[in-house]
Chains A and B, each alone.
Chain A
């Protein structure tokens, strides 16, 4: 059987070479990775086929322990494919499961391996992952009954059981969720609490719910508790800026947007920040700033836009690639590539590997990076197109926004209500310029303290004025 996995209760790894494995496990237990690695190196030249697979497993475990999780993950996948169903492969499945949960890695490869029928038994604790992958494989292929048959394998309290429940809930959410949906969400979030990656995702989503329910203050409280990194950091800042805008905290909102424009945030580049800034400036009747925003937008995205129009292959446009890398589910793959690069830099920083092996890992990391980039490019082609379409649409929207802003400027008495907003005082040194220069690389520590000093310039309509 392939898609229906037989659970092996109380599964334990039975070594190919028991003596070697006992020594290896002892070294690992003592965190003596050098000794563990030496054991592997010693056997390397003498080992025969299945024992070599066991040595590979040992190397994967060392890499995992050393924090080279991307390499460990992909080596484990490769081992599973080479020696399907073997003892080392079943242990490697454990590595994949643990890392997929911890690092939120892309599941495409393991999904493929779990659905081709190369092995049919697995440790009981891995059945939830395998069942989840079977469901995933069958969810969109008009094979729902097959997906259904895998559901019993999902332990509802496991990571994959909870994740599946979350995904089902998301699918069933109405376009505009209400308070009841929020309550459902919070109940589910409680179940996800024990899994850090899921917990963060749930909180983020909750903040978005709150924003859509006009509870921006509560949403901001959640954002304050989150500690995002990389691309997520940019996205969350943008969402915070929206919430601050909703609360009419224009200075802080614009300050965040300004930070997002800095060169160090290139990875999290987002065209909509310019739109939000334009809306904010228009609200405050800073009409020339609306034009400046559009010009800034064009200076960043203009050349990409021109190339899209001229029919340049979309995969050759780096800005589009950045936009794709922020969109679900591609961000997972993109994050994996970024992490691989970070881990490559750290390769020899603590306990160095023997020179030869270090070189091999180096080359392997670079090769893997190429493969992952290629895969991302290949799979995300529709998303690339979607992002290009979005960019064109946003540019048109921006044109419209500029036009509306101009109209408003030329109106004698703009009818805006509750005009009480006043400029805030600067919290950091700097002039009273419209924009705060954020070019340094130390912005992250100061994040949230920068503000654009701007006050409401709209003339207040006096009581009794004609509309």
Chain B
């Protein structure tokens, strides 16, 4: 008997599989089931063992239900064109009812049947399917009341939940789903959480909905969760369903909910952290983009759509997404397109080309071109190198895909321009040359020839940045271009410079034979041109470097015979004279030493640049140094300018650096260090001197020099930092166009901001905030966030000037939501003073909102009292919010010992207005940068380098000349030699305050107090730092 039951189950399960997979065999299968039914009936009738009857009846019920399902399928297959409501399914329903009746009989006759839970569950499910919800509900209730094992209870509650969900009784449905989740986790738990999420959506409890969905995003594999519709043949992944469903509540989260749950702050990061599967991430982001677009949050929508587009997809889906990106970018007025987006577009277009889908290619051409054109104007306005280079590559794709497009020429010109501004000069030169090869009017062609020549010249100017191949290409390209240019425009003035450059190129690549040939031709053609002198000198040098002094002198003589200008003549003669001296020098003997400085200076003067002159000058230098005579700097300089490569040059430089440091002439020391670096770039001290020089310049307020030096050292980031410190905004904005990542975006944005170019600034700062964090970027991104937030508050205040209306209020609230989100982002960065700032600005935002609401007038249809009833609690909320933010601000600054002007705003609850510009005080430069010094003090310091008294005299001198950086440098030196004295630290504290270096001032005063806790100067100094003044806000209600 048991065997019979097992075989029947096998038959049923096989039947089910075949029915779904092989529609053609369904009729035959139906016949098989019918015979199984007959067989089972007989067995029921004939069996004597009562214990097996409920088992057999249950098998019977399942066979009947299976038969009904097959009949339904067969009917549908036989009438493929019929609409669902045109077919009569009465016979099938009757079979189901028969099956249900069998189940009911089991329940009635065999209340102790071991499989009764399954019977009840099947009954409930079948009743639900035929639409008898009431009876289904009863069955599930009976199942739950039987208090069976958790699995059946949770399934029963789940099904009850579903019934109420369909009735739209979401609260009751939710109660039942909660009952499932309260039981130990089982197969129904995920489905219950999922449906609970939907109940909460319908009840508009969005945060709660999202929390339920989050419980369905486990990290397990694909085997775990399949949605309830599996029985219907529709398989879907519940995790994916939950993720897609979560998009709605996510888009509805309030600002408060987001600020309390910072994981929701950045949608892309949030979903990336939740999803292990790229494909689901793509679908979810796509849904989110559509949702945000629907909510008119165009910028966010476009950013998310762009990210979703980057995830690899089937070509058709990717094309669809590409269109979404085109549309959303247009809607968001977004002109900055990432390299990755351009690359993905290129991938799609290449695939279309490979598949010869010309129609589609044609369809996307205007979209792509529009995107390129918009990116072009934007990239040119902000001049970010990485953006421009991405654009150049995108243009390349366009030209390869659409070589015959009517716009191809325009695109090529744009490409050349983008490459030029993006400092890809060699590529720019190639592109401009390509333009000249197209059919264009001659005068236009000349313009492009000129641009190509300029681009080549710039490429060659920065030749060290080029690879080997590029170097060769730049040189060859330039030569070829010059030949073409000469042929097309023989009389043009540019040719002179171009021909000179050809000689110089040969010289630079050490092809001296070709260089001499070129220069000789050039000099014969242009004896009085702008580059004649330089050409003559380089020609001489080419001979010199080939050790061909004979040709040097003979060709020099020949050129002197040409019609050259007197200035060229004199330079040439000088070079020839030097060459002659070099010849003498090589046979010159050694000179005696230990003579008096004056005498040697005399000898040096009379001996010109001979080695005698060099030795004499060195002796003079040594003698002056020993005497402590400051004139030795002058003699040293003279030696270095005349004998740059002289044997003592290195020692002299080192000595002068050391001495300048002793006499606190830090600006001078820095200049010598840089000279040393340029003379001996490979020496072991060079790197150290390079960084020391910049520090010294910064310390002594030589702002422009320090920036320039950093630029020469290719340390763009430090250059930008210094430009920010000293308020060189334009410079900073230019420098940072070449700095990639968050830092570059920050400095460039800040540069625009400080210069009042608001639109450019905001676009860049917004990008900076959205950029992935890098080492050291937290402070910058946080500051950018504060700027954005403060700007948004200003926008909000500007809105207030408009006549009050409900839409205006909505606009204000939307803006405040964005501001709050920005500030939450700042807080996330955990960046000391900007965290304090973010709390202070949050306080300010709340205060402003309270003010706006308190001044709002009710709409015409609403009585004042009723309006007040709505608005007053909100005002109280905002005021409370302001208070809480200010308290957190003070608490944080105290706990973390953070020094910020913003604490004043928090302490006075907004009465003192502090802005980021005030927080970022620019260090004021005194009248004179570098350290002021007199000959007398210098001599004294050379004799007693650690004399505090002498140093104090120097300090006074600098203070009296309002040279605050000089004073600061001297005060630092005093603490070095007299660090145990509180007075020394006080002097440094005061000096630091004068240059707005409050952090250092505080540290100095604290050091003084450590030595002498009763020191009143230090106490006063600290009090002054901690009580900054600020602008007062107008009292609430005064606007």
Chain A interface residues (CB < 8 Å from chain B): 1-6, 14, 81, 112, 115-118, 120, 137-138, 143, 145-146, 149, 308-311, 371, 374-375, 378, 385, 388-389, 392-393, 396
Tell whether, in the assembled complex, residue B354 and residue A392 are in contact, meaning their CB atoms are under 8 Å apart. Answer: no
Q: Which residues of A contact B430 (CB under 8 A)?
A: 311
Tell whether, in the assembled complex, residue B473 and residue A146 are in contact, meaning their CB atoms are under 8 Å apart. Answer: no
Q: Which residues of B contact A81 (CB under 8 A)?
A: 314
Q: Is B641 an interface residue (CB 8 A)?
A: no
Q: A6: which of B222, B312, B314, B469 is its contact (CB, 8 Å)?
A: B222
Whether A389 contacts B469 in the complex (CB less than 8 A), given A117-B313, A311-B476, A374-B354, comes out as yes
Q: CA separation between A309 and B769, bound complex, in Å?
A: 43
Q: Is B280 an interface residue (CB 8 A)?
A: yes
Tell whether, in the assembled complex, residue A309 and residue B473 are in contact, meaning their CB atoms are under 8 Å apart. Answer: yes
Instruction: Using CB atoms, name the residue of chain B closest to A145.
Output: B276
Q: CA separation between A371 and B475, bound complex, in Å?
A: 36
Whether A1 contacts B354 in the complex (CB less than 8 A), given A14-B21, A115-B312, A308-B472, comes out as no
Tell whether, in the assembled complex, residue B473 and residue A143 are in contact, meaning their CB atoms are under 8 Å apart. Answer: no
Tell whether, in the assembled complex, residue A5 and residue B222 are in contact, meaning their CB atoms are under 8 Å apart. Answer: yes
Q: Is B169 an interface residue (CB 8 A)?
A: no
Q: Which residues of A contact B476 (CB under 8 A)?
A: 309-311
| Residue of A4, A14, A145 with highest tally of chain B CB at under 10 A | A4
Tell whether, in the assembled complex, residue A112 and residue B472 are in contact, meaning their CB atoms are under 8 Å apart. Answer: no
Tell whether, in the assembled complex, residue A117 and residue B279 are in contact, meaning their CB atoms are under 8 Å apart. Answer: yes
Q: CA separation between A6 and B280, bound complex, in Å?
A: 15
Q: Is B370 an interface residue (CB 8 A)?
A: no
Instruction: Using CB atoms, name the residue of chain A closest to B220.
Output: A4
Whether A4 contacts B314 in the complex (CB less than 8 A), given A146-B276, A309-B473, comes out as no
Whether A1 contacts B473 in the complex (CB less than 8 A), given A392-B468, A393-B468, A396-B468, comes out as no
Write 10 A-B pairs (CB below 8 A) sorted by A numbering. A3-B279, A4-B277, A14-B21, A14-B22, A81-B314, A116-B313, A310-B477, A311-B430, A388-B469, A389-B468
Q: Is B585 an interface residue (CB 8 A)?
A: no
Whether A311 contacts B276 in the complex (CB less than 8 A), given A116-B313, A120-B222, A388-B469, comes out as no
Q: B473: which of A2, A116, A308, A378 is its contact (CB, 8 Å)?
A: A308
Whether A3 contacts B278 in the complex (CB less than 8 A), given A117-B314, A310-B477, A393-B468, comes out as yes
Q: Is B756 an interface residue (CB 8 A)?
A: no
Q: Which residues of A contact B354 (CB under 8 A)?
A: 371, 374-375
Q: Which residues of A contact B282 (CB under 8 A)?
A: 117
Q: CA separation between A388 and B278, bound complex, in Å?
A: 37
Tell whether, in the assembled complex, residue A116 and residue B279 are in contact, meaning their CB atoms are under 8 Å apart. Answer: yes
Tell whether, in the assembled complex, residue A118 and residue B222 are in contact, meaning their CB atoms are under 8 Å apart. Answer: no
Instruction: Using CB atoms, name the residue of chain B closest to A379.
Output: B350
Tell whether, in the assembled complex, residue B279 and residue A1 are in contact, meaning their CB atoms are under 8 Å apart. Answer: yes
Contact with A along B284-322 (1 / 0, CB 8 A): 000000000000000000000000000011100100000
Tell whether, in the assembled complex, residue A115 and residue B278 are in contact, meaning their CB atoms are under 8 Å apart. Answer: yes
Beyond A6-B222, A117-B279, A146-B278, 17 extra complex contacts between A and B, CB < 8 Å: A2-B279, A4-B221, A81-B314, A112-B312, A116-B279, A116-B312, A116-B313, A117-B282, A120-B222, A137-B278, A146-B277, A149-B276, A309-B472, A311-B433, A311-B473, A389-B469, A393-B468
Tell whether, in the assembled complex, residue B469 and residue A308 are in contact, meaning their CB atoms are under 8 Å apart. Answer: yes
Q: Which residues of A contact B276 (CB under 8 A)?
A: 4, 145-146, 149
Shortest CB-to-CB span from B627 to chain A, Å, is 51
Shortest CB-to-CB span from A292 to chain B, Å, is 23
| Residue of B467, B472, B477 with highest tally of chain A CB at under 10 A | B472
Q: CA separation between A81 and B473, bound complex, in Å?
A: 44
Instruction: Using CB atoms, name the residue of chain A closest to B346.
Output: A378
Residues in B229-274 with C-beta less than 8 Å from chain A? 237, 240
Q: Which residues of A contact B467 (CB under 8 A)?
A: 389
Q: CA separation between A310 and B477, bound complex, in Å?
A: 6
Tell whether, in the assembled complex, residue B480 and residue A310 are in contact, meaning their CB atoms are under 8 Å apart. Answer: yes
| Residue of A3, A14, A374 with highest tally of chain B CB at under 10 A | A3
Q: A311: which of B219, B279, B350, B477 is its contact (CB, 8 Å)?
A: B477
Q: CA separation between A137 and B277, bound complex, in Å?
A: 12
Shortest CB-to-CB span from A231 to chain B, Å, is 24
Tell whether, in the assembled complex, residue A392 and residue B222 are in contact, meaning their CB atoms are under 8 Å apart. Answer: no
| Residue of A6, A137, A309, A311 with highest tally of chain B CB at under 10 A | A311
Q: Which residues of A contact B221 (CB under 8 A)?
A: 4
| Residue of B22, B278, B317 with highest tally of chain A CB at under 10 A | B278
Q: Is B547 an interface residue (CB 8 A)?
A: no
Whether A2 contacts B278 in the complex (CB less than 8 A), given A116-B314, A310-B480, A311-B477, comes out as yes
Q: Which residues of A contact B277 (CB under 8 A)?
A: 1-4, 146
Q: CA separation between A282 and B270, bound complex, in Å?
A: 64
Q: Which residues of A contact B472 (CB under 8 A)?
A: 308-309, 392
Q: Is B223 an interface residue (CB 8 A)?
A: yes
Shortest CB-to-CB span from B126 to chain A, Å, is 29
Whether A6 contacts B223 in the complex (CB less than 8 A), given A117-B314, A311-B430, A375-B354, comes out as yes
Q: CA separation between A99 and B313, bound complex, in Å?
A: 25
Q: CA separation between A425 and B433, bound complex, in Å?
A: 58
Instruction: Using CB atoms, name the residue of chain B closest to A372.
Output: B354
Of all A-B residue pairs in the complex, the 4 with the closest CB atoms, nearest first, are: A117-B279, A2-B279, A309-B476, A1-B222
Q: Which residues of B contact A1 (CB under 8 A)?
A: 222, 237, 240, 277, 279-280
Shortest CB-to-CB span from B338 to chain A, Å, is 14
Shortest CB-to-CB span from B831 to chain A, Å, is 24
Whether A2 contacts B280 in the complex (CB less than 8 A), given A371-B354, A389-B468, comes out as yes
Instruction: Using CB atoms, name the residue of chain A closest to B472.
Output: A309
Residues in B201-232 with C-beta less than 8 Å from chain A? 219, 221-223
Contact with A along B711-750 (1 / 0, CB 8 A): 0000000000000000000000000000000000000000
Q: Which residues of A contact B237 (CB under 8 A)?
A: 1
Q: CA separation between A137 and B223, bound complex, in Å?
A: 22
Instruction: Using CB atoms, name the residue of chain B closest to A87.
Output: B21
Q: CA separation between A112 and B477, bound complex, in Å?
A: 40
Contact with A along B339-365 (1 / 0, CB 8 A): 000000000001000100000000000
Instruction: Using CB atoms, name the residue of chain B closest to A118.
Output: B314
Q: CA separation between A417 and B209, bound complex, in Å?
A: 83
Instruction: Using CB atoms, name the residue of chain B closest to A370.
Output: B354
Q: CA separation between A370 and B460, bound complex, in Å?
A: 39
Q: CA separation between A254 and B468, bound complex, in Å?
A: 30
| Residue of A117, A308, A392 with highest tally of chain B CB at under 10 A | A117
Shortest CB-to-CB span from B314 to chain A, Å, is 5
Q: Which residues of B contact A143 (CB under 8 A)?
A: 278
Q: A392: which of B280, B314, B469 is its contact (CB, 8 Å)?
A: B469
Tell whether, in the assembled complex, residue A378 and residue B350 are in contact, meaning their CB atoms are under 8 Å apart. Answer: yes
Instruction: Using CB atoms, name the residue of chain B closest to A120.
Output: B222
Tell whether, in the assembled complex, residue B469 and residue A137 are in contact, meaning their CB atoms are under 8 Å apart. Answer: no
Instruction: Using CB atoms, name the residue of chain B closest to A5.
Output: B222
Q: Which residues of B contact A308 (CB under 8 A)?
A: 469, 472-473
Residues in B912-946 with C-beta less than 8 Å from chain A? none
Q: CA separation between A137 and B282, bound complex, in Å?
A: 15
Instruction: Using CB atoms, name the residue of chain B closest to A149.
Output: B276
Q: Which residues of A contact B278 (CB under 8 A)?
A: 2-3, 115, 117, 137-138, 143, 146
Shortest CB-to-CB span from B343 to chain A, Å, is 12
Q: Which residues of B contact A145 (CB under 8 A)?
A: 276
Q: Which residues of A contact B469 (CB under 8 A)?
A: 308, 385, 388-389, 392
Instruction: Using CB atoms, name the residue of chain B closest to A312.
Output: B473
Q: CA separation between A69 and B1028, bound complex, in Å?
A: 80
Q: Which residues of A contact B350 (CB under 8 A)?
A: 378
Q: CA separation between A138 and B477, bound complex, in Å?
A: 41
Shortest CB-to-CB span from B496 to chain A, Å, is 24
Instruction: Using CB atoms, name the residue of chain A closest to B272.
Output: A143
Instruction: Using CB atoms, name the residue of chain B closest to A148.
Output: B276
Q: Which residues of B contact A138 (CB under 8 A)?
A: 278
Shortest CB-to-CB span from A336 to chain B, Å, is 15
Instruction: Using CB atoms, name the residue of chain A closest to B429.
Output: A311
Shortest CB-to-CB span from B465 to chain A, Å, is 15
Q: Which residues of A contact B222 (CB under 8 A)?
A: 1, 4-6, 120
Q: CA separation between A389 and B430, bound complex, in Å?
A: 18
Q: CA separation between A311 and B452, bound complex, in Å?
A: 13
Shortest CB-to-CB span from B239 to chain A, Å, is 8
